[in-house]
Amino acid sequence: MVQNIIDFLEDFGLWGLFIHSFADAIIFPVPAFFTQVSLSVMTPSSALWLATVGFIGCLLGTPIGYYIGKLLGKSILYRFLKKKWIDSATNLFQKNGEAAILIGSFTPIPFKVFTILSGSLAFPLWKLIVYAAIGRAIKFYAIGALFYYYGRAAKGMVHEVTMYIFLIGVPILLIGLFLKRKFGKKKQDADANNSVALDQTPSE
């Protein structure tokens, strides 16, 4: 079934990848990764352009997945996807929503789980779009760059490289989040202390 869907979308080229990436962020059960790789094997010179089209399609579909979650809740996910994926993603969200989205961009858990969960758990939409843009750009363009520079030989490298990106890139992004929060908290504490100091200053 997966191969039949990919074969069908391949016939539409760039538009097929756009539609697949758009639907992948909403509820479509097959990740756009497969269509991107398949089309990149056919025309490696267009791999970066394919990555761009897939990335844009994914970002445009993200708010729709979000509002589906907001309106219908995460119960819709259980009808189409594996329970273990949904439970894992929910646990990640409960610990740290931003980290969940970044990690979700690289894990085998379909990305629509994170867009719909964001809506159902009232995670801010703008944050979802920002962190989805970072994570999905890395994944789409890493695959695109591989095929652009190595041609059809990149097909055998894709899974290994995406694993290395996950093992190296995700920790770097998480450290960045940690530092952002740490310095943000320090700034808030400093502002609060300054506010208290001003309140305690005797008026003339």
pLDDT tens for 139-148 read 899 899 999 9
Distance (Å, whole) CA 82 – CA 39: 27
pLDDT tens for 35-55 read 999 899 999 999 999 999 999
pLDDT tens for 4-37 read 877 888 888 899 999 999 998 887 878 888 899 9
pLDDT value, residue 188: 60
**Is 56 a residue whose pLDDT tops 90?**
yes
State the chain's mean pLDDT as an integer. 80
8 A C-beta contact, residue 163 and residue 107: no
pLDDT value, residue 22: 93
pLDDT value, residue 45: 92
Question: Which pair of structure tokens corresponds to residue 50?
Answer: 């394919």
Give per-residue burial for 1-28: e unless 16+ CB within 10 Å, then b: eeeebbeebbeeebebbbbbbbbbbbbb
107 versus 71: the higher-pLDDT residue is: 71
Question: How many domains are contained in the chain?
Answer: 1
pLDDT value, residue 154: 85
Tokens 């399609």 sit at which residue? 57
pLDDT tens for 73-124 read 777 777 777 777 777 777 777 777 777 787 777 766 678 888 888 888 888 8
Cα three-residue angle 59-111-57, rounded to 5 degrees: 25
101 versus 56: the higher-pLDDT residue is: 56
Residue 151: domain span: 2-200
Length of the chain, in residues? 204
Give pTM, 2 decimals: 0.76
pLDDT value, residue 77: 76
**Is 166 a residue whose pLDDT tops 70?**
no
Confidence of residue 157 (pLDDT cuts 50, 70, 90): confident
**Is 198 a residue whose pLDDT tops 60?**
no
